[in-house]
């Protein structure tokens, strides 16, 4: 800056000799440039000072959360804000310095070397800010002297620094701020997780729980097999009781039910994941004493596109059965269920809710599988998974397509007559797989 100022003076004197009016304009322009540079330097120092202050605040938040594990995060932040404001000599502190929690955190922070160094750097930047705005020859202000005195309390013997020295000294402030913010986020996550662990406790899974789960899913398979076969055969006028035994309900539709059961299990995993996230969100809001925003807007933003795509799919394909319809029914059903709020009457509400979600997903997926199977049969051109070799007695049915079998009967589909035929299983002498 000194060399720039000397060059400006020489240029001004030379211009004054040649043209007095032109020289005055040039001098005015150079003064404005000089003041603008001073202003940029002042803003740069204030930006550094703000980053140092943020480092102090986030570091104090972390130490406050660790020092007062029984307090909410909002209270810990209030204490930390008060201590940092007191150390930075701000007028508004917020908490009485005689408070025992204030004294404890103040003692912890002052004894920390990392915090002391950044605190000294804060006062160093304050001193630099006051010195930047003075002109050459002006005495150093009392505020700058006071700031450098405070910096020496934490850094030892330091001298006044100019703008360039301040930038060099605080070159790592961005990295420090990023690291301390990460520590703060980690501390908050650990605090919320500890609260969640305190509420949920240790989940004990016993052998009886495994037995109950196996019984539950076995019942789902049995009921699902019964409903699958009943609705498909009932559509064509058959009664399942005339052709099926209890074991046939599952064995005749195991391939379909397996896929449905897997989707049901994935749905339950998603439910427990959502339950964990919801609890974390609630605890986070409780720790910070903020209001949790409702989910109605988020749900509407999901349901509306699904409804639009359902209409578009039906208009293009001429068929209302599409994957968007499944998602629409799923989220509408879960939202209606959420608003019923009947779980408060049960002690083990989470288990009942998980079972309800499993049954709902299972039923919804099963309904779509039944609809897809009936549509596949009646759409025309159905081709079964197996070719059949018929006995001489039932050779007239050799052109029909296989679509279902039990332990005693085989169900065939006639594409020409668009009807089903049931023959004894003894009438089929071989099954041939169809390989494309």
Q: Please report the DSSP string for 326-382 in residue order.
A: HHHHHHHHHHHHHHH--GGG-TTHHHHHHHHHHHHHHHHHHHHHHHHHHHHHHTS--
The b-or-e profile of 378-392 (16+ CB within 10 A means b, else e) is eeeeeebebebebee
Lowest pLDDT segment from 57-71, 295-309, 340-354:
295-309
Select the highest-mean-pLDDT range: 39-48, 375-384, 422-431. 422-431
The kind and range of the H/E element at 318 are none
Q: Which has the higher per-residue pLDDT, 12 or 364?
A: 364
DSSP state string for 183-219? HHHHHHHHHHHHHHHHHH-PPP--HHHHHHHHHHHHH
**Longest Cα–Cα distance in the chain:** 127
DSSP state of 305: H
- Which of these, 54, 53, 74, lies nearest to 64 by C-alpha position? 74
- Which of these, 371, 386, 379, 390, lies nearest to 320 by C-alpha position? 371
pLDDT exceeds cutoff 70 at 352: yes
Nearest-angstrom CA–CA distance, 86 and 32 = 38
Helix, strand, or coil (residue 410): strand
At residue 63, the pLDDT reads 92
At residue 190, the pLDDT reads 86
At residue 339, the pLDDT reads 67
Considering the chain, what is the average pLDDT of its residues?
75
CB 425 within 8 A of CB 410: yes
DSSP state string for 261-282? HHHHHHHHHHHHHHHHHHHHHH
CB 173 within 8 A of CB 52: yes
- pTM comes to 0.60
Q: Where does the pLDDT of residue 264 fall: very low under 50, low under 70, confident under 90, or very high at 90 and above?
A: confident
Q: Where does the pLDDT of residue 235 fall: very low under 50, low under 70, confident under 90, or very high at 90 and above?
A: confident
Tell me what the mean pLDDT of segment 291-298 comes to. 54
At residue 61, the pLDDT reads 92
Rg (C-alpha) for the chain, rounded Å, is 39
User: Partners of 388 in the beta sheet?
Assistant: 431
At residue 58, the pLDDT reads 92
Interval 113-152: pLDDT, tens? 999 888 888 888 887 777 766 555 545 567 777 887 888 8
Dihedral of the alpha carbons of 180, 181, 182, 188, in degrees to the nearest 10: 110
HSE, side-chain direction, 13 A CA sphere, residue 198: 9
At residue 301, the pLDDT reads 52
At residue 319, the pLDDT reads 52
Interval 388-420: pLDDT, tens? 888 888 888 888 888 888 888 888 888 888 888
At residue 182, the pLDDT reads 92
DSSP state string for 223-263? HHHHHHHHHHHHHTT--GGGT--HHHHHHTTHHHHHHHHHH
23 contacts: CB under 8 Å, gap ≥ 6: 12, 15, 16, 17
Q: Which has the higher per-residue pLDDT, 22 or 261?
A: 261
Q: Which has the higher per-residue pLDDT, 118 or 246?
A: 118
At residue 158, the pLDDT reads 76
Between β-strands 386-390 and 409-414, what pairing exists: parallel, antiparallel or unpaired?
unpaired
With pLDDT > 90 as the criterion, what percentage of the chain qualifies?
5
Q: Which has the higher per-residue pLDDT, 100 or 352?
A: 100
Interval 302-345: pLDDT, tens? 555 555 555 555 555 555 455 555 556 666 666 666 666 666 66
DSSP state string for 18-82? H-HHHHHHHHHHHHHHHHHHHHHHHHHHHHHHHHHHHHHHHHHHHHHHHH-TTS-HHHHHHHHHH
């Amino acid at each position: 800056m000194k060399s720039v100022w000397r060059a400006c003076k020489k240029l001004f004197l030379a211009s004054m000799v040649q043209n007095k009016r032109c020289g005055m304009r040039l001098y005015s322009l150079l003064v404005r440039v000089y003041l603008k540079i001073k202003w940029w330097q002042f803003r740069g120092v204030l930006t550094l000072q703000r980053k140092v202050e943020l480092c102090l605040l986030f570091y104090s938040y972390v130490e406050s959360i660790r020092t007062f594990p029984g307090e909410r995060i909002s209270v810990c932040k209030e204490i930390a804000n008060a201590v940092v404001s007191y150390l930075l000599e701000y007028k508004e502190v917020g908490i009485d310095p005689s408070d025992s929690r204030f004294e404890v955190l103040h003692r912890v922070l002052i004894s920390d070397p990392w915090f002391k160094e950044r605190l000294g750097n804060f006062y160093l930047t304050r001193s630099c800010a006051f010195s930047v705005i003075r002109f050459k020859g002006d005495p150093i202000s009392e505020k700058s002297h006071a700031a450098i005195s405070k910096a020496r309390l934490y850094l030892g013997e330091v001298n006044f620094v100019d703008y360039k020295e301040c930038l060099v000294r605080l070159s790592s402030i961005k990295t420090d701020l990023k690291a301390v913010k990460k520590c703060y986020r980690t501390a908050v996550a650990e605090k919320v997780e500890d609260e969640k662990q305190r509420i949920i406790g240790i989940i004990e899974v016993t052998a009886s729980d495994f037995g109950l789960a196996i019984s539950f899913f076995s019942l789902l398979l049995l009921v699902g097999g019964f409903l699958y076969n009943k609705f498909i055969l009932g559509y064509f006028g058959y009664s399942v009781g005339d052709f099926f035994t209890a074991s046939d309900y599952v064995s005749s539709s195991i391939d379909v039910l397996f896929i449905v059961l897997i989707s049901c299990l994935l749905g339950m995993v998603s439910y427990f994941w959502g339950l964990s996230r919801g609890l974390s969100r609630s605890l986070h809001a409780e720790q910070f004493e903020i209001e949790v925003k409702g989910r109605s807007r988020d749900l509407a933003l999901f349901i509306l596109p699904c409804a639009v795509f359902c209409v578009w799919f039906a208009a293009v394909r001429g068929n209302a059965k599409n994957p968007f319809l499944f998602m629409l029914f799923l989220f509408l059903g879960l939202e209606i269920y959420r608003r019923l709020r009947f779980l408060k009457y049960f002690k083990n509400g989470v288990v009942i809710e998980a079972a309800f979600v499993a049954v709902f997903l299972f039923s919804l997926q099963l309904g779509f599988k039944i609809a897809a199977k009936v549509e596949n049969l009646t759409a025309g051109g159905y081709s079964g998974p197996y070719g059949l070799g018929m006995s001489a007695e039932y050779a007239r049915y050799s052109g029909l397509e296989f679509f279902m079998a039990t332990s005693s009967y085989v169900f065939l589909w006639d594409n020409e007559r668009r009807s089903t035929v049931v023959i004894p299983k003894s009438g089929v002498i071989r099954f041939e797989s169809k390989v494309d």
